[in-house]
Amino acid sequence: MSSKDWLPSSRTGQLTMAHIWVNALRGSATAWNVPADMSTKLTQLFNKASEALELAQTAERNMVANQMVRTAFGDLTDHMRDLRRRHFFMPPLTEADWVSLGMRLPDTIPTNIGPPTSVVAAEITYPHKNALSLFITPIDGHRYDERADWGFRIYFGVLPPNPDGVTEEMMIERQYLRRVPQNPEELTASHFTRRKRDLIEFPYDNSGKQCFICVRYENSKGDKGPWGPMASSFIP
């Protein structure tokens, strides 16, 4: 069983919880809208599981006794899960009722998970013509944020050698930079990835142009971490 399961993992613990439920339903089944046959069946299955476990502990252990215990406890826990899923609701149960049944109250307060504070940078290599390969790595004194909902937003922009010699249509179509960027906000293109290694491929006529790159953490909701240092390289 999962450590997060609401049922106890031991058979004695399951029996204890079932006994609590049996006693609670004797006085509260009607108020909690639990049908009488469900309460009766719980009592029967509790008694059967108690007898099977007692027999297995006092008699010589054998395959038959072990199977009787497995079957009895399987039936009991299946019924308890069904009972909880179909009939234990708040209301009519109160929080005190829920705790008295041996269960934890549902956690309705969202966990506040702050944005990453780690700063990452892109190490650039050249896999082939018109492409830059990036390895995203934390800067000194930082480390990766391993939370599953966070990835990386890679920002980049290409600067022509002579922006004044490029037509306005081409500047808009290729999202070229008009000057050397002073901060990452000026970079004109971006994409999201969860991989630490990424590849940016460029149109063939971008070869020889300078590309500026900056990376930071981001999640699917658009929440962002701090900017990393800006890197630049000429596109092969």
Condensed to tens digits (0 to 9), the pLDDT of residues 65-121 reads 788 889 999 999 999 999 998 888 878 888 888 888 888 877 666 666 778 889 999
Q: Is the dihedral of CA 97, 103, 107, 108 positive or negative?
A: negative
Which DSSP state fits 224? B
Is 175 among the domain residues? yes
Is 4 among the domain residues? no
Is 6 among the domain residues? no
CA 192, CA 115: separation in Å to the nearest integer?
Answer: 16
125 shares a domain with 87: no
155 shares a domain with 90: no
Which pTM was predicted? 0.55
Structural domains in the chain (count): 2
Higher pLDDT, 165 or 47: 47
- pLDDT at position 221 is 80
213 shares a domain with 180: yes
Domain span holding position 89: 11-100
- pLDDT reading at 198 higher than 90: yes
139 shares a domain with 187: yes
CA 196, CA 160: separation in Å to the nearest integer?
Answer: 28
The CA angle 97-100-102, to the nearest 5 degrees, is 125
229 shares a domain with 124: yes
Is 107 among the domain residues? no
128 shares a domain with 199: yes
How far is residue 97 from each of residues 20, 30, 89, measured CA to CA in Å? 11, 14, 10
- pLDDT at position 9 is 87
